[in-house]
């Protein structure tokens, strides 16, 4: 059992959980993830690690309630426990001194991106941060990113806060010398960023979290096409060259269970009401 030591609301339906997992905390590096399972009927879901506290033996993950399992997790409170937590999984992100690193976080994934941004800063990089979300209310980790990055930009899809969309990136890339771009967020955002940086020839990595089951290379559910090759996100990633990823395939595969996910949610909600 893995106890929720702390829970903090970051935005509507987005929470940050601190789980007690001492060994995992001491081994985790930015860019790695855990697979968790809430109860014995539960599915296994991957969540990218957003922070560790090795002294207290805790890891943090941010979770956006989008379906049954994430909503079920969102309803758990401090002091509650989940049944399984496996990690750290995946390869650590490549953290080196590149020069100027542009760290772009979208939605809930801004939390794990911040973990990387911190490491890039510690490695001696000039870190430019961008926090994005669909709308103002969904922006998260603004304070943390503000403290960690040398500069911070904010963008929303609807323009309710900061820049509207990511077009401002064109100017930024023209005006500044950027050595590396790291994008972590919704697939469409990572795709748009990669398309832009390709034109400027800036090395860009993206963190892909496809549907997974075991998370250690057994099932191949998370297979992605990168540079024409079949790779498994769980063991070859999560970090991939954004200019080589087949994002459209990833989008299609992420929608594979949409009807079943709806059914699972309705069934679970009904069960919650009946008690």
Partner 1 sequence: MSTPKPKIRKEAVPMPKQTPEERARNFREVAVGYTEENALAEAERCLQCREAPCIKGCPVEVGIPEFIKLVRERRFKEAAKQIKEKNSLPAVCGRVCPQEEQCQAKCTVGKIGDPISIGRLERFAADWERQHGSAIPEKCPPTGKKVAVIGAGPAGLTVAADLIKLGHEVTIFEALHKPGGVLTYGIPEFRLPKKIVEAEAEYIEKLGVKLKTDVLIGRLYTIEELLRHFNAVFIGSGAGLPTFMGIPGENLCGIYSSNEFLIRVNLMRSYDFPRAGTPICGGEKVAVIGGGNVAMDAARCALRLGAKEVKIVYRRSREEMPARAEEIENAEEEGIVFEFLTSPLRLIGNERRTVKAIECIRMRLAEPDKSGRRRPVPIEGSNFVMDVDMVVMAIGRTPNPIIKQTTEGLKTAEWGGIVVDENGKTSIEAVYAGGDIVTGEATVISAMGAGRIAAKAIHELLMKK
Which residues here bind partner 1, judged by CB under 8 A? 23-24, 27, 37, 41-44, 68-69, 83-89, 213-214, 216-221, 223-225, 230, 235, 248-249, 252-253, 255-257, 260-261, 263-264, 267-268
Between 88 and 237, whose beta carbon lies closer to partner 1? 88
CB of 163 to partner 1, least distance (A): 32
For partner 1, give the closer residue by CB, 123 or 230: 230
CA 109 to chain centre: 3
Rounded to the nearest whole angstrom, what is the least distance from the CB of residue 82 to partner 1 in the complex?
A: 11
Name residues whose C-beta falls within 8 Å of residue 261's C-beta, 6 or more positions apart in sequence: 67, 68
Q: Provide the minimum distance between the beta carbon of 256 and partner 1 in the complex, in angstroms, as a whole number.
A: 4
- Residue nearer to partner 1 on the CB measure, 29 or 243: 29
Give residue 181's Cα distance to chain centre: 15
Q: Which is nearer to partner 1, 142 or 221 (CB)?
A: 221
The smaller minimum CB distance to partner 1, of residues 201 and 275, is found at 275
Query: How many Å apart are CA 48 and CA 195, to the nearest integer?
Result: 24
Judged by beta carbon, residue 88 or residue 186, the one nearer partner 1 is 88
Q: Phi/psi class of residue 90: alpha, beta or left (left: φ > 0; alpha: ψ in -120 to 50)? A: left
Q: What is the closest distance, in whole angstroms, from the C-beta atom of residue 124 to partner 1 in the complex?
A: 27
Smallest distance from the beta carbon of 159 to partner 1, in angstroms?
32
Output 16 or 226, the one with its CB closest to partner 1. Answer: 226
Q: How far apart are CA 22 and CA 27, in angstroms?
A: 9
Residue 272, burial from CB neighbour count under 10 angstroms (0-12, 13-18, 19+): exposed
Name all contacts of 65-72 with Cβ < 8 Å and 24+ positions apart: 65/13, 65/14, 67/261, 67/264, 67/265, 68/261, 68/264, 68/265, 68/267, 68/268, 69/38, 69/42, 69/43, 69/45, 70/45, 71/265, 71/268, 72/38, 72/42, 72/268
The nearest distance, CB 107 to partner 1, in angstroms, is 23
Cα 204 to Cα 252: distance, rounded to the nearest angstrom: 22
We find the least distance from the C-beta atom of residue 103 to partner 1, in angstroms, to be: 25
Q: Shortest distance, CB of residue 191 to partner 1, whole angstroms?
A: 15
CA dist list (Å): 120 to 108, 130, 167, 212, 215:
20, 14, 25, 28, 26
Judged by CB, which is closer to partner 1: 69, or 125? 69
Query: Are 48 and 27 within 8 A, CB to CB?
Result: no
């Amino acid at each position: 059992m893995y106890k929720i030591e702390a829970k903090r609301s970051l935005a509507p339906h987005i929470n940050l959980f601190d789980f007690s997992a001492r060994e995992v905390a001491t081994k985790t590096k930015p860019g790695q993830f855990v697979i968790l399972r809430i109860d014995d009927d539960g599915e296994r879901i991957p969540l990218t690690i957003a922070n560790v506290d090795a002294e207290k033996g805790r890891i943090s993950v941010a979770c956006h309630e989008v379906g049954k399992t994430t909503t079920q997790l969102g309803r758990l409170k401090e002091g509650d426990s989940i049944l399984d937590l496996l990690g750290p999984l995946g390869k650590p992100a490549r953290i080196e001194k590149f020069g100027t690193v542009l760290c772009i976080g979208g939605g809930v994934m801004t939390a794990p991106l911040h973990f990387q941004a911190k490491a890039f800063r510690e490695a001696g990089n000039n870190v430019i941060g961008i926090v994005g979300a669909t709308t103002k209310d969904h922006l998260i980790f603004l304070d943390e990113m503000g403290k960690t990055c040398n500069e911070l930009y904010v963008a929303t899809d609807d323009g309710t806060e900061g820049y509207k969309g990511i077009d401002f990136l064109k100017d930024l890339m023209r005006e500044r010398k950027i050595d590396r771009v790291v994008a972590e967020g919704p697939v469409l955002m990572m795709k748009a960023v990669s398309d832009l940086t390709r034109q400027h020839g800036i090395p860009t990595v993206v963190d892909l979290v496809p549907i997974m089951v075991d998370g250690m290379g057994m099932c191949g559910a998370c297979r992605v096409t990168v540079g024409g090759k079949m790779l498994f996100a769980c063991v070859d990633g999560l970090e991939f060259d954004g200019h080589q990823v087949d994002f459209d395939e990833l989008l299609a595969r992420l929608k594979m269970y949409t009807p079943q996910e709806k059914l699972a949610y309705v069934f679970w909600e009904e069960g919650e009401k009946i008690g």
